[in-house]
Structure formats: C-alpha cells, structure tokens
Structure 1
Amino acid sequence: MTEQLRLMAVHAHPDDESSKGAATMARYAREGVEVLVVTCTGGERGDVLNPKLQGDPAILENISEIRRAEMERAREILGVGQAWLGFVDSGYVEDYDPADTSKLPEGCFALVDVEEAARPLVAVMREFRPHVVITYDENGGYPHPDHIQCHRVSVAAFEAAPDPDRYPEEGEPWQPLKLYYHVSFTRRQFVAMHEACLAAGIESPYAEMLEKWGADEGRDNSDRITTQVVCDEYFVIRDEALRAHATQIDPDGFFFRAPLELRRKGWPTEDYQLVRSLVDSSVPEDDLFAGVAQTAGV
C-alpha cells in the first residue's frame, strides 16, 4: 500500500487560509492529498471588517467563538483538516517594525519566544507528517506582527521537526521534504486581471489600485515565484470559503468585484516560492509535490 501525500499550510489567523492558497488546498484535497491547516491564533483581536456586521455589540463580545465557527465552516468547504496552536492574536499594528515590540499587547503571539512558540507546531508536524509545508515569507506577506511571527515559527519548526535532539518529548522526528512561501497579490497578477476585464469590455475594479501602485516595481515580489499551481477550477470553492468568514470578508468587496470567470481567465494559478527542498525538482514548477513521490515512495 502506498503512503498518502500530505500537505500542511501554517497560517496566522482564521480566514488567512481562505485568502491565501485556498484553491490550491481544495484542488489537492480533491485529488486525494491529506491537507491540514494549522492556525496559530484565534483571531481574537481582529476587527469586524464586513461593513454589514459592524456595530453589532454581540459580535464583538463573542468574536472568539464566532471566528472559530467561521473557521469550521471554511474548513468544511475546503475539505481539509484544521488544528489550532492556541496562541493569542497580537492585533494589527500600523507600520509595524519587528524590532519595536512596544505597541504589542502582553501575552500575544508575536511576543512569544520563537523556540517556545515552535514547540506545538513541531508536535503537530511530527503527528501529521507533512511532505510539503506552506507558510509566509520573512515579511509575513504583509507586515502584520502575527504573520511575521508565523513565518519565524514555521521555519523553526520545519528545521526542528526532523532533529531527534530537539523537542524529544513532542513525538518521533519527521522530515518534511519541501517548504514554500505564498507569493500573493502581486502586481503582475493584478495587471493580468485588469487587462482581462478591459478585454471583456467591463470596468476594471483593479484600475485605481494599479494607479496608486504606479510603476514602483520594487514593491512587487513576482520575481520570487518558482511554482504556479493551476487551480482556477477551485476558485468558486475559494470564494465560498472566504465568504464563510463573514466577520472578515465583505461579500461585495474587493475579492469578488471582478466576475469569477474573468479572475479565472486572467490569473488561473496560485503562486509560491520554493525555499527548501530535500528532493530532486527543478523550477519553475507546476506542482507542490514535484519530486516528492519518488523520494517518499508514494
């Protein structure tokens, strides 16, 4: 009997899994891969971003329970497993500088020592035994304290999980074979979707954003992309999972302004950067598991 391929995606908050890599996970799950989302915090300090739900005191009073319920619904839609690490949301800090933690609330995730914070992730990694791990880059994808900490903890756990001398009480060592970073919301992607809208003769919802972005290519990380997973067939599932996070996502907001078919046509992939590999695979890739089956005997 061959072993099942396994994919782990490590995220900072509930809803991050649905805005970054959701269609990829939905595709692999339906192709028989076992997929696990690991959520570092409960999103307790997240604002209510859906204008239709803002101002309801009952939501603010029960935000932790609500966000857990939203995560459960999104998990079901995506067809994946999910584990909580149990850390406390740090909240968003404007112009966050990781060297200055003075604005962070006591006891939050971003203030936990990385060695300590990696422990529960190592335990989950050794239990689930992923072949591939996905997380954020060193900037967190964007500079939210929890996203940057999620990057640090994910990389630390990836390196520690196979080492029998580290966290020996957290299970048998396991060597993940590949580590990827999400490469999301690139300028190249938005230009492609903008042009798809114009070609279809409709007003582009990306025009104003691209105008503000300007010609500053230095803000773009498209050149980090090594791996593009075609998953446009699963964008409808991604949209449904996003909407399940009702406190965080405006159903009429930015993510959904362009018609689904144009988003599929303009940019049919979700994109990643391969940063660690213990298998023979060459870039560019179109599969996160390229080279894994041969090495893992799957």
Structure 2
Amino acid sequence: MNEQLRLMAVHAHPDDESSKGAATMAKYVDEGVEVLVATCTGGERGSILNPKLQGDPYVEKHIHEVRKKEMDEAREILGVRQAWLGFVDSGLPEGDPLPPLPEGCFALQDVDEAAGELVRLIREFRPQVVTTYDENGGYPHPDHIMTYKISAAAFDGANDPEAYPEAEFGPLWQPQKLYYNQGFNRARTEALHNALLERGLESPYEEWLERWKTWKRPDRNITTHVPCGDYFEIRDKALIAHATQIDPDGGWFRVPMEVQQEVWPTEEYELARSLVDTSLPEDDLFAGIRDN
C-alpha cells in the first residue's frame, strides 16, 4: 500500500491503553504502522489501586501529574504517539443510590461538542482504523461509555463539513474501520482458566467465571483475533508503568507468560463499522485496507 497505515486507539484514562489492545499496538508499531493513543481524561479521580502506593501523600496530592508521567513512560515502552483530549475524569460513582457525577466532568459533556475534539485529532492524524469501547464501555464506567459515544460520533463527524466545519476543525477525513476492544471475553478467560488448572496452577479467573454465570448480557460478537503473543511482555511493561493503577504482584500477572503465549496468543476486537470489504473472521485490523 502506498499510503502510510495509521491506527488510532481512543481510551478513557491513562492506563486503559496498556490494559486493552497494548500488544496489538506494539505489534503494529513494529511493522511500521503509525499508532496514536487518544486519551480522553487525565485520570484525576482514579483511585490508587496499587497497595504499595496507597497512603503516599505526594501521590495522593499530585495524582494528575503522577498519572501523566506514568502515561509518558507507557507511551515510550509501546512506541506510540499519544494525545490528551483534555477532559476531566468523572470518577466511578459508588453507593445506592449512586451519587451525581461531578460538575464539569467528561461524562456530563455534550456528546457532539466533546466529539469535536476527537474530530479535530482524527482529521489531523488521518487514521484508517479507530479502536474504542462498545456501547457498554467494556464495563459501565461513565467515562468509558462517554468514550464510546464520542468515538462513534467522530467516526462519521470527521467527514462531515456541516457538523464540524473545515475552517474550524481542519480538512475532512473518513476512517475506514471502527473496532471495539473485546480482550476480556469469556472464551479467552475460560481457556486460560482451564489451562492453569490442567497444569496444577492456581487460576485468578474463578470469580470472573462465577460472575459471568449471573451476567444476563449476551457475549459480544468477536470478529477479529490479532496474533500478538510476541508482544505480551511489552504490554505488561507498559501496564506496570502505570504504577498507581496496577500491582505488579497482583492478579493481572498471575498467568505465566508461556501459558498465555501458548494458549491464547491473540487480542480480540469486534468490527463495528467498515467502509471496505473484508471477510470475517479477521486476523488484521487493516484487512481490506492494505490492498485497497
């Protein structure tokens, strides 16, 4: 293909890019694809999940700056470019009834106006492929759901001069494919769980599978398995760089690398929109684009 391939991954918070599709991005970077992570918020209201950093007064006081530095380190590890959309983290409301979302936060923005910031970035970067979350956000965090909303709006809006005038948002551009990250799927979880038990090892997925039994939502339609097992170690290094969000001794890393690479060496996606012909299932996000 004569034109440079470009992939944009739209995420809600710093660390999401390293837990969802990171090995895929590292693989494409290694192949010469330009990859840009669009991070919607600064993660200002995120909890400190790593017990080793909980109670650290500097981290608690300067969480925004700390998470920005973590993102810088993860970006370098993955070899991607990264841009902030500049919205404020909404936090994850908890309780019954749920408290109202904070004034001015990302999830309370007007969808069309917020999508304009992403339209501007899409028109500047000109990706053929965009990845984001499904309409449920992958899980029901208000920022993840809002990320889906603005990504869906911007996919078409980037080529709409009436909604987003070229004079204000730059030259028109139409991405060709839109994908939803589906890495946390039942088939993968069951395969890794069974493989661990067969090897006499403890599985961190027991509770996940029990929750799935009561989950009424149907499984997603996974269309695309990207082979990227050789990049799982880069993925893990990028995730560990987000030190406030991940415990390197926690459940994320309890499955031996060799088991992951043998049993499930792919990352999964759901093709939501395609303006090019492609055959399902796929093993490449650029299927139908490379030779078009």
Structures share fold, TM-score greater than 0.5: yes
Alpha-carbon distance in structure 2 between the residues aligned to 1:2 and 1:158: 23
Q: What amino acid does structure 2 have at the position aligned with 1:30? A: D
User: How far apart in 2 are the matches of 1:242 and 1:173?
Assistant: 34
Corresponding residue SS for 1:72: helix
Structure 1 portions without partners, runs of 5+ = none
In 2 relative to 1, CA 217–45 (structure 1 residues): closer, same or farther, beyond 3 Å? closer
Q: Aligned equivalents of 2:261 and 2:95: distance in 1?
A: 33
CA distance in 1, matches of 2:96, 2:49: 20
Matches within 5 A, 1:71-150: 71-94=71-94, 103-150=100-147
Cα deviation for residue 37 of structure 1 reads 0.2
Displacement, 1:200?
A: 2.2
Q: 2:236 aligns with which of 235, 239, 250?
A: 239
Matched, 1:42 2:39: no
Whole-Å Cα distance in 1 between the matches of residues 96 and 77 of structure 2? 33
Equivalent-residue separation in structure 1 for 2:204 and 2:112 (angstroms): 43
Question: Which segments of structure 1 move beyond 4 Å, counting only runs of 4 or more?
Answer: none
Q: How does 1:257-272 map to 2 (within 5 A)?
A: 257-272=254-269
SS in 1 for 2:202: coil
Q: Does structure 2 retain, via aligned residues, the 8 Å contact 1:96–1:145?
A: no
Query: How far apart are residue 219 of structure 1 and its match?
Result: 4.4
Distance 1:220 1:238 in 2: 28
Amino acid at match of 1:112: Q
For 2:12, the equivalent position in structure 1 comes to: 12
Q: Distance in 2 between matches of 1:9 and 1:123?
A: 15
Matched letter for residue 206 of structure 2? A
Tell me which residue corresponds to 2:23: 23
Deviations 1:186-217 (A, max 9, x none): 2221110011112223222223432x236447
SS for the counterpart of 1:86 is strand
Paired residues, number: 290
Residue identity (%): 64
Cα distance in structure 1, aligned partners of 2:215 and 2:265 = 22
Aligned equivalent of 1:213, options 199, 211, 214: 211
> What's the C-alpha RMSD, in Å, of the aligned pairs?
1.7
Whole-angstrom CA distance in 2 between matches of 1:288 and 1:214: 28
Deviates more, 1:52-61 or 1:184-193: 184-193
Deviation at 1:156, TM superposition (A): 0.5
Gaps of 5+ in 2: none
Return the alpha-carbon distance in structure 1 between the equivalents of residues 105 and 202 of structure 2.
43
Aligned equivalent of 2:273:
276
1:201 corresponds to: 200
Amino acid at match of 1:199: E
**Pair 1:166–1:208, CA change in 2 (3 A):** closer
In 1: Cα distance, 2:240 partner to 2:9 partner: 20
Report the 3-state secondary structure (helix = DSSP H, G, I; strand = E; otherwise coil) of the residue aligned with 2:148. helix
Task: Name the counterpart of 2:282.
Answer: 285
Query: Could you tell me how far apart the structure 2 residues matched to 1:285 and 1:82 are?
Result: 26
**SS of corresponding position for 1:184:** coil
Q: Give TM-score scaled by structure 2 length.
A: 0.95
AA aligned to 1:227 is T
Deviation readout 1:130-182 (Å, 9 max, x if unpaired): 00000000000000010000000010011100112221110000010000001
- Tell me which amino acid in the other structure corresponds to 1:57: P
Name the CA distance, whole Å, in 2 between partners of 1:20 and 1:57: 29
The residue type equivalent to 1:194 in the other structure is: H
TM-score where L is the length of structure 1: 0.93
Partners in 1 of 2:69 and 2:129 — Cα distance? 27
Question: Which amino acid counterpart does residue 213 of structure 1 have in structure 2?
Answer: R
Q: Which residue of 2 aligns with 1:188?
A: 187
